[in-house]
Amino acid sequence: MTLTKYIALLRGVNVGGKNKVPMADLRKTFETYGFTDVSTYINSGNIFFTSNEEDSRTLKTICQNLIQESFNLEIPVFVQPTENLITTLTHAPEWWNQDKESIVHNVIFVIPPITVSDVIAEIGEVTLAYDQYFVHTDVIYWSAPLKNYSRSKLSKINSLPIGKHVTIRNGNTMNKLVALSKVVQ
């Protein structure tokens, strides 16, 4: 039996007092199910765990069902091996997460069965003065100048129907999740 370390990224938990999921309770829920090496990072729904299940889509369904049963919330979840998260960051474009003073940097994780192409099609053509993005597999690296952030099409993704099928992490959180992934491997 091969054990793999995974990360689950929950969409929209503990934001503005909505979808409250205490991380200690979430860890306990995952441990009770039988996942091992369970840990969380900050209150926005980043959870590491080990499983012998090899299919990320199956794990996504399991995680969503656990959250539904334990917290009575329908929360979309993005799941992948931590090894994939580490590899994903190595493919970030050079411009991403630079100049953190005047540019907002995010990573958009697309939750299957929705694809990156679906997200890009719904957002439509972006203006480079407001958005810069790069796609790697099932993530979109996105940066927008702080002064033009409100004009960025990608900043409005959560208000679009497709927004229910993505979860977003800022550059600092992404870097920390990758660092933690390396520690917990």
**pLDDT band at residue 17 using 50, 70 and 90 as cut-offs:** confident
Give pTM, 2 decimals.
0.94
**pLDDT band at residue 49 using 50, 70 and 90 as cut-offs:** very high
Q: What is the pLDDT of residue 2?
A: 86
Distance CA 15, CA 54 (A): 31
List the structure tokens of 168: 């977003």
Q: What is the pLDDT of residue 128?
A: 83
Residue 154 CB neighbour total at 10 angstroms: 23
Residue 6 CB neighbour total at 10 angstroms: 25
Q: If you search the block for the tokens 């958005």, which residue do you land on?
A: 131
Q: What percent of the chain has pLDDT over 70?
A: 98
Angle at 103 between CA 100 and CA 105, to 5 degrees: 80
For 9-25, b where at least 16 C-beta lie within 10 A, e where not — what string?
bbbbbbeeeebebebee
**pLDDT band at residue 185 using 50, 70 and 90 as cut-offs:** low
Let me know if 147 is exposed, middle or buried by CB neighbors in 10 A (0-12, 13-18, 19+).
Answer: exposed
Give the bridge partners for 136, in sequence order: 139
**In contact, 166 and 113? CB cutoff 8 Å:** no
Amino acid at 164: K
CA-based end-to-end distance of the chain = 17
Handedness of CA 8, 9, 11, 14 (dihedral sign): positive
Nearest alpha carbon to residue 21 among 79, 82, 75: 75
**In contact, 84 and 181? CB cutoff 8 Å:** no
